[in-house]
Structure 1
């Protein structure tokens, strides 16, 4: 369904203050936001409202390390928007986490939820730490203190965290328990991505990768291509990358390259993905020295001749310097922000269909929504039902975005932002601004 234009005064608007580098994640998001706002003819006031986070929280996290030292970490939570419902977004642990990155990711969550018609706003959180250098008990202390600092922010009807980079279901269990102990009741719906025994959902771990494949198959169908006759390269072999690769493999696609932090692995005759997954699990979740392919660099993987490229690693992997060398027919963004804004025009000129992150990797938040619903009603679904509903919602979202792209003759990325921003702006207009 195409968006309906909001009845605002069309104007030329500029964000106040100095223009940031278009290579930063936040500015890449803002470049796309500006385009969609122009298509929708948002006035400057609405533009400012939708581009400004509702809350930005920075907290100190002092903990006692295993050796008795006191160390202070820094934690973040950004709530970008809560117009459609309680805010939703992951928590990541990494040494390079910063407020700018968290702001961008929170914004993406707002549009991602709107694209798949999930009644959540967008949020994101993070703690600046290196989890590889921390013991399990130190991670637990950090998580519980971070959660305690966020007790006024988190809540099943306010802000619902989930796993992200370097966090997992155990960390979500600690978040849930800390919140529940302070609330003096067990509150499973305060967090998603939990262990199943604590109210987690079947199919949650595979949801993001499954969503990537659902929209990739939809894109192939639009191009008249059959999945059993295409070649695929997947950058990143974590949860999203490995699931995407395996599901495409099950569809009959030839997976010619995969990669992780140890490098890229290429085999023109196709890689046995179940074997690669087994090998990785037996080698500390690394593909190092994988015998089923030859070693190439991650950059070389991106530039391989293939039908489908799934970047499922980190942000800004395809940028102005290498966009002209991309040879795929479809890029399906498993990661958040793998393509910078200044690479979009190059890819468009090359005729590459880019299925954007706010659509392609929205399977995770969709099944997080399913988990929240199941927790609220105290009744849990089978994995088959979860997958069936996920596939339906992702396919409907693709069709909606594709319809907008055809109506306005714009790219899928532009159409996804137009669709999402129109939904949030229209909702805000109907609700009004409380004063």
Structure 2
């Protein structure tokens, strides 16, 4: 590089040192003299490898420096910290020499993390620094000077490739990230690693074998091992030889170069004064690593999940208008492909967005990039290295918390603990939680979390499982909070697991409070994250609505366990204590209310044959019920929507007349499926089939109690394939089918009510044409593929779609959250500030339709009576939502799901517009079509928009 470039490198390091110093002073409260001494040491030549400074931000480096100076000592074998972008992890090992067993252990711990690069190097200080980068987008920004130098370097690579007649030079350049280029530009002399990697990439692309190159550099042997499509164990297996022979490594690094149709992995190892002949070592490496090369490889670029992940990340980042248009164009093309006959891709996110865009097209939003950016973009991706101990070993496994939207309130969504958890699944569920919350009109947004772990491999009472949950919980604590993101349970994460995380949240909040109060040092560690005083203050304010300048609050958090629990309670729902009884079975009750409302509307339209004729009075009661919508609720102030007498008539007389003997099929015998079976039994329906993971049972008038008992009584069976399954039921069973796939045939039975409450894509292009139900009520997320939705609509099947039908669970969680916020606010007023409690502090959290009614409930202690009151509010929310969608769908000749998406799209846009400044709001509204403007105007008249205006301004 030129002298000017070298000068810029020094200027870069000087500026980086200044930024680190500012952070150490302002966030960590280190005095100037101490700060200068620390920086003098860490930025001295050779103390840390030069690439390290070009691979990390000033914020990350400052955190590392603090950790090294204050936590790494004679008692510390090793410290680690996840990067700010969550895609990297840095280990500081208190021994400079790298005995390969130590490095191999670090690699082994991260085998599930899809490692794309690794660097391990001893430093002049006697420490060893190891960095691991996992797969994921890292948006390193190059300065203008760095971009110019990077372009020059690319030109040199192309010229070099031409001179040496290399076939893959251009392809190799396409695999390089900005981070890699920045590291190359950081070296003192002209970079040669890039040209060495180019040669190895070329050779690996031309052969299926292991490529090994060696060179002696003074008294150091450099051995480079490359292969095409390496196995995830490739690095670990390479290190095993050195571990076995006690050969110390001076440095080692690995890079995975990925192109359309292949990956090339390159591992370079540096050995001082090798005790083994390097030619012999080459032979050993080729032999030992041969089984770990050329593994089956699906090009990520061509895979649906990779394309979707890339689009999600792009859509959620700052984009120019042209880049946004290109991104939306690609997404729309994928959605169109998804609708072609025989081309259904079976991806939950793609199905959701396909349906979303179909609805947006009907009202003129699909061609408005500004609107789609608001509605489709995600707010935050948090990805964790979660340490999970098992059988004496610790493995880092991927953990996620993905926030789609907090436009209408704190984002909300459950936590899945399952081996199939991945980025796309969690993102899809997060996306759908936004619309689920909006359709219920509760003041929540959408988020979801997941841990890629199989809880069935653990004893749920074991310390290993407890520690895994605790580690996941620590990561979640730092990115959630009652005021910004509220997790809950989901698949593999029940009340016990939530309870354990809750305990961890309490101890973490106490640590933050004591630090800000001044009892502890100006820094703490939560999990593998260093939290400075400044960051702690931000967390208290933004996540918990805590005034960190109020010493009374901070003192109480540190000293009063009851108050600490009250503050943390609203951070997570579905708790075994401090929850509400109405949360139990809420999803099933909501499905029941949705089914009853759908039946009522169909009957009044002449499309449902009653089992017994209704009187004029009963028909009038049904007509009154189907007129309940948001306008009617607001007109009554949310009070006395359905009187007790009216509901008794509906429950005890009208619905039994409509439903007695009607055939019902249920897929799923878990919490939701069993709840539906129990709830609908009250109306005399004829349960003719139930299926689950073990298989299916068929019969006439299956006994609900026997079906549920068969599931419960078989939970302890050794054979997992038939554990907790309906196939053990005998009463009135005429046929049994073993196997989940085989059992799904019951979906095609002729019936009046079909409740799929188990799997995504239960109904697809393949089986939807054979569905013979009158009404389908979707108990699972993503029940129907996009093609299935269209087929069922054309067949005349009334589909009560997923994010409406199964939304009662999140609604009940909302009630629990309100209860916890109320209890905290009341305690603070009466016990800390010693004043009368004013419940108006809750106004910005409570949905306006039911504000006074909910306040009346909150003023009482939880009891059976209060649980009944929560359930009636839940009932009225479900009934009004189904009615609104039903009437809109009939008027516009669209499906209920399209009606639901249209409703929620404008509800979210109204909240977004309300929080904009006047000029931007006007510009956005003017960008909409006339039809969209008219529809938005209606939603801007809803009283909830006043909350968003108040909060934002």
Shorter-chain-normalised TM-score: which range?
Answer: over 0.9
Instruction: Report the equivalent of 1:206.
Output: 585
Matching of residue 286 in structure 1 with residue 725 in structure 2: yes
Gaps of 5+ in 1: 1-11
Which residue does the alignment assign to 1:192? 573
**Contact 1:147 1:179 (8 Å CA) reproduced:** yes
1:36 is aligned to 2:475: no
Matching residue within 53, 62, 76 for 2:387: 62
* 2:511 pairs with 1:176: no
Tell me the CA shift for residue 384 of structure 1: 1.3
Q: Deviations over 1:31-64 (max 9, x none)?
A: 1111222233221111122111111121111132
Where is the helix percentage greater, Structure 1 or Structure 2? 2
Q: Does 2:915 correspond to 1:431?
A: yes
Distance 1:125 1:313 in 2: 19
Distance in 2 between residues matched to 1:328 and 1:63, nearest whole Å = 45
Are 1:23 and 1:342, in contact at CA under 8 Å, matched by a contact in 2?
no
1:78 CA drift (Å): 0.9
Contact 1:89 1:109 in 2 (8 A): yes
Of 362, 369, 385, the match for 2:869: 385
- State whether structure 2 residue 430 is matched by structure 1 residue 49: no
1:14 and 1:183, CA in 2 relative to 1: closer, same or farther beyond 3 A? Answer: closer
Asked if the contact 1:227–1:248 (Cα under 8 Å) also holds between the matched residues in 2, the reply is no
Contact in 2 for aligned 1:76/1:127 (Cα 8 Å): yes
Q: Following the alignment from structure 2 to structure 1, what is the Cα–Cα distance between the partners of residues 736 and 770?
A: 20
1:372 corresponds to which residue? Answer: 817
SS of 1:31 mapped into structure 2: helix
- Per the alignment, residue 668 of structure 2 pairs with 236
CA contact (8 A) 2:697 2:727 kept: no
Offset from partner CA, 1:126-165 (integer Å, 9 cap, x none) = 1111111112233322221112112221101111111111
1-structure distance, mates of 2:681, 2:593 = 13
Alpha-carbon shift at residue 305 of structure 1 (Å): 0.5
Q: Determine helix, strand or coil for the equivalent of 1:100.
A: helix
Residue aligning to 1:295: 736
1:273 corresponds to 2:704: yes
Mapped partners of 2:326, 2:386: distance in 1: 39
Residue aligning to 1:6: none
Superposed, 1:15-26 pairs within 5 Å as: 15-17=328-330, 19-20=333-334, 21=338, 22-26=345-349
Alignment equivalent of 1:218, drawn from 597, 605, 612: 597
Q: CA deviation at 1:406?
A: 2.5
Q: Which residue of 1 aligns with 2:770?
A: 325
Is 2:710–2:728's contact at 8 Å kept on the other side of the alignment? no
Looking at structure 1, the residues matched to 688 and 761 of structure 2 have their Cα atoms a distance apart, in angstroms, of: 22
Cα distance in structure 1, aligned partners of 2:329 and 2:500: 41
Structure 1 residue 433 displacement after superposition:
7.5
Does structure 2 retain, via aligned residues, the 8 Å contact 1:374–1:380?
Answer: no
Is the partner of 2:766 in helix, strand or coil? coil
Is 1:151 the counterpart of 2:465? The answer is: no
CA distance in 2, matches of 1:322, 1:354: 15
Between the two proteins, the alignment pairs up a number of residues equal to 420
Q: 1:328 aligns to what SS in structure 2?
A: strand
1:23, 1:340 within 8 Å by CA — same for their partners in 2? yes
Q: Give the TM-score of the pair, scaled to structure 1.
A: 0.93
1:298, 1:47 → 2: CA distance?
A: 40
Cα deviation for residue 395 of structure 1 reads 0.7
Indicate if the aligned counterparts of 2:400 and 2:449 stay in contact, CA closer than 8 A: yes
Give the superposition deviation at 1:13. 9.3
Name the SS of the counterpart of 2:887 in structure 1: helix
Question: Please, which of 870, 880, 903 is the counterpart of residue 419 of structure 1?
Answer: 903
The Cα offsets for residues 372-429 of structure 1, whole Å up to 9 and x where unpaired, read as 1111112435321122111111111111222321232211011011111110011111
Moved more, 79-88 or 373-382: 373-382
Tell me the distance in 1 between the aligned counterparts of 2:800 and 2:427: 22
Q: 8 Å contact 1:36–1:421 — kept in the other structure? A: no
Aligned structure 1 segments of 4 or more residues deviating by more than 6 angstroms: none
Query: For residues 99 and 71 of structure 1, what CA distance do their matches in structure 2 show?
Result: 19
Post-superposition offset of 1:320 = 0.5
Kept in 2, the 8 Å contact 1:205–1:239? The answer is: no
| Cα drift, residue 14 of structure 1 | 7.1
Would the aligned equivalents of 1:154 and 1:160 in 2 still touch at CA under 8 Å? yes
**Using the alignment, how far apart are the partners of 2:688 and 2:596 within structure 1?**
17
Unaligned runs of 5+ in 2: 1-324, 339-344, 511-563, 609-657, 716-723, 824-860, 921-953
Tell me, in whole angstroms, the C-alpha distance in 2 between the residues paired with 1:400 and 1:180: 42
- Contact kept in structure 1, 2:440 and 2:878, CA below 8 Å: yes
Local SS of the residue matching 2:417: strand
Q: Any idea what SS the aligned residue of 1:190 has? A: coil
Rounded to whole Å, the distance in 2 between the matches of 1:50 and 1:127 is 26
Alpha-carbon contact 1:40-1:422 (below 8 Å) kept:
no
Asked whether the equivalents of residues 202 and 386 of structure 1 are also in contact (C-alpha less than 8 Å), the reply is: no
Query: What's the RMSD between the two structures over aligned residues?
Result: 1.8
Equivalent position of 1:314 in the other structure: 759
The alpha carbon displacement at 1:287 in A equals 2.2
Alignment of 1:106-185 (within 5 A): 106-136=430-460, 137=462, 138-184=464-510, 185=564
